[in-house]
Chains A and B, each alone.
Chain A
């Protein structure tokens, strides 16, 4: 593998000029985003630097427990963020934790057991991050869609309940739409793979000098992995989440609606 990556600290400083472009647009168009841009950039630099050093240590140590600890930290962090997107849905964190754990374990387990990746930190940690972050985004979309559609279709849900429908039958359309909304971005991005975007994994390998044909194989594997994981994450979070819209008497909890 040839290593021709030449990002030095100096080139990074020059690259910062590109942030100024975003800041200029924000300033000129009075978008009120400059504070967010700056905070985001500073956070990205700090977080990535810390992660870089941690990863260096984890990879160098090559200890299974340390790798597992990284896995747990990533999953909890992703669940925490997905839970926040629940916007008041009770147990959003716990449900996200279960959804992300199952999605990540099943997908990662399959990849390891089939020999697609090895149980070594340099493979497990980045792939866990990739899976967990995609499920996190999918769950966020599921929660947002669920809150919105329960609000929009409140009358219909009430009528179904009044007719004696169980909460699942009363919410089934909302459930389907929400699961679909969680999976849709992954499905959409798959359609344009290679045509519009050369995704992170593949680009990274090509950057690192890997034969693009080999890189494609990894990307295809990542695609399968993301489809399964966002599907699992969406279905688990939605099936656990919709129950929170009802109380024990199987009445719609109107306080949750927007």
Chain B
């Protein structure tokens, strides 16, 4: 399979501090990469640059044969989706959150699609009208991930999304991502500190002091 993503000599500086130094990386379509390394090593910064949430100081990111700079950022982010470590839920109910990806794409909300997505993360139909205040931490992360996954992105970036989750919720998230990777050939870039996830990872990339080692 060809490269879906190519990071070329990418650096990122904040004032005089170098956060990322000359990163080079090629990601094949359908790969499941796990980024590891100490806190503050630049993993999240790299992911945010790939997700077009930050702009590199120098270097380039090539997605699907074209520089990230040449994409319309909004369209790009619908294809390369970034999931946060501690997400917030929008609006009042779970429905408000699952409706959001439809709003983003100017599409009419499809309740059936939303309910089947919920079932995918072991949450039943009754959750759709639940208040976001009545949702546990684990459920919140699963629902937040559904916002990224409702319309399958080509690349999903998960930034420590299982941090703080119990074993059961971690397993649900883990299995869901595995399924998307295997069945839908979704490319996944995962940042994690979780030992069990690191152990199970098929391909690991270690970042230390802003460099791939």
A residues near B (Cβ < 8 Å) are: 155-156, 158-166, 169, 247, 249-251
Contact partners of A158 in chain B: CB under 8 A: 53, 84
B73 touches A250 (CB 8 A): yes
A169 touches B104 (CB 8 A): yes
B55 touches A164 (CB 8 A): no
Contact partners of B87 in chain A: CB under 8 A: 159
For residue B148, CB closer than 8 A to chain A, the reply is yes
B90 touches A162 (CB 8 A): no
Q: Which of A158, A159, A162, A169 has the most CB of B within 10 A?
A: A162
For residue B35, CB closer than 8 A to chain A, the reply is no
Contact of B78 among A160, A164, A251 (CB under 8 A): A164
Q: From B75, which residue of chain A is reached at the shortest CB distance?
A: A164
Q: Which of B83, B104, B147 has the most CB of A within 10 A?
A: B104
How many interface contacts (CB-CB < 8 Å) are there between A and B? 59
Contact partners of A163 in chain B: CB under 8 A: 77-78, 81, 100-101, 104, 147-148
Q: From B90, which residue of chain A is reached at the shortest CB distance?
A: A156
B residues near A (Cβ < 8 Å) are: 51-55, 73-75, 77-78, 81-84, 86-88, 90, 100-101, 103-105, 144, 147-148
B88 touches A166 (CB 8 A): no
State the Cβ distance, A151 to closest chain B Cβ, in Å: 14
Would you list 24 pairs from A and B whose C-beta atoms are within 8 A, ordered by A residue?
A: A155-B86, A155-B88, A158-B53, A159-B84, A159-B87, A160-B90, A160-B100, A162-B77, A162-B81, A162-B82, A162-B84, A163-B81, A163-B104, A164-B74, A164-B75, A164-B101, A164-B105, A165-B74, A165-B100, A165-B104, A169-B103, A250-B74, A251-B53, A251-B73
B52 touches A251 (CB 8 A): yes
Q: CA of A165 to CA of B81 in the docked complex: distance in angstroms? A: 11
Contact of A164 among B81, B88, B90 (CB under 8 A): B81
Q: Which of A161, A163, A169 has the most CB of B within 10 A?
A: A163
Q: CA of A158 to CA of B54 in the docked complex: distance in angstroms? A: 11
Q: From B101, which residue of chain A is reached at the shortest CB distance?
A: A163
A251 touches B55 (CB 8 A): yes
Q: CA of A159 to CA of B87 in the docked complex: distance in angstroms? A: 7
Contact partners of A156 in chain B: CB under 8 A: 88, 90
